[in-house]
Amino acid sequence: MSTENTMRAIGQDTLGGPEVLKEAEVARPAPRTNEVLVRVHAAGVNPTDWKHRATGGLLGEPPFVLGWDVSGTVAAVGLGVTAFKPGDDVFGMLPYPFGHGSHAEFVIAPGRALWHKPAAVDHVQAGALPLVSLTAWQALVETADLRAGQRVLIHAAAGGVGHVAVQIAKARGAYVIGTASAGKHDFLREIGVDEAIDYRETDFTEAVKDVDVVLDTLGGDTPVRSLRVLRPGGIVVSILPGAPQEFFEEAERLGVRATWILVDADRAGMRAIAELVEAGELRATIAGTFPLADAAEAHRLGDTGRTTGKLVLVVE
């Protein structure tokens, strides 16, 4: 049972499957200069969470508490914070990768990583959005400069990043082509996809041509193959680190552009996302909600790679 100076958190002491996740009582953090202490109400679970749980990824060896998404209420602010006060509802993404820790009752965030939670949605919805929305926004808007009338191909368009990227692209007036298994095509049309491709039956490099922007959420050989569907000067943006050298060499040969990004915490991006939410142009599809204590179950479902939308931990 947490006390005034402690909190519940989902931690791990070793790498491995979902069973390594354990609920523990740990010290409650206190905000330093320009930091905000957030009482967590909901926190999204993303592929980067289960990958870090299993491999350590960018974080190295545990112990650590995962979680980058957060929606909650400001419990305290450090010196210099003027945008928020205790009692404010906020949402945001903790600095990636080393700001993790939202799968807990409280978390510290830089004030600049947060924005006011849109009043139009609840904490589950707000907690599902930050990482995937910032990823899509930074890839499509800030990196690719996606504009009205352009054609965009979004891989795994029913996934966490994909289904949000579709909505951001539509809000910018783009023509959206999305890949997903046939069973998810009705969902893709509901969220605005203009042209759905069943990747199991169709080679997208033969079905798609003259695309301005490709968003690669898959890795492997997908970014290199995606270069072939671009118009001259078009761009493939991968959200996965470690793109092979062939990706950049082939882009140069074809007269197109190739790049990859890592999502970055950003108040301006969160504000833009909040505006899309308030305008009714962006909404996360919730694949499942789990109490904090059942984080391992959320990871088991995430490990299947078959969810549509987002998994969210709810903190009572």
Domain boundaries, the chain: 6-129+284-314, 132-260
Query: Please, which residues bridge with residue 213 across strands?
Result: 152, 235
Find, among 171, 163, 208, the residue nearest to 189 by Cα.
163
Condensed to tens digits (0 to 9), the pLDDT of residues 103-162 reads 999 999 999 999 999 999 999 999 999 999 999 999 999 999 999 999 999 999 999 999
132-260 CATH choice from 3.40.1390.10, 3.90.180.10, 3.40.50.720, 3.90.226.10? 3.40.50.720
Evaluated on CA atoms 156, 261, 43, 3, the torsion sign reads: positive
pTM of the model: 0.97
Q: How confident is the model at residue 241 (pLDDT cuts 50, 70, 90)?
A: confident
pLDDT at 275: 98
pLDDT at 79: 98
pLDDT for residue 89 is more than 80: yes
Rounded mean pLDDT, 279-291: 98
pLDDT for residue 202 is more than 70: yes
Cα-based angle 258, 264, 268 (whole degrees, multiple of 5): 110
SS3 at position 243: coil
H-type helices in the chain, by residue range?
A: 47-55, 123-128, 130-137, 160-171, 185-190, 204-207, 222-226, 245-254, 267-278, 295-303
pLDDT at 1: 61
Q: What is 6-129+284-314's CATH topology?
A: Quinone Oxidoreductase; Chain A, domain 1 (3.90.180)
121-157 as b/e: b if 16+ CB within 10 A? bebbbbbbbbbbbbbbbbbbbbbbebeeebbbbbbbb
Rounded mean pLDDT, 169-196: 98
Q: Rounded to whole angstroms, how far apart are CA atoms 218 and 173?
A: 24
pLDDT at 205: 97
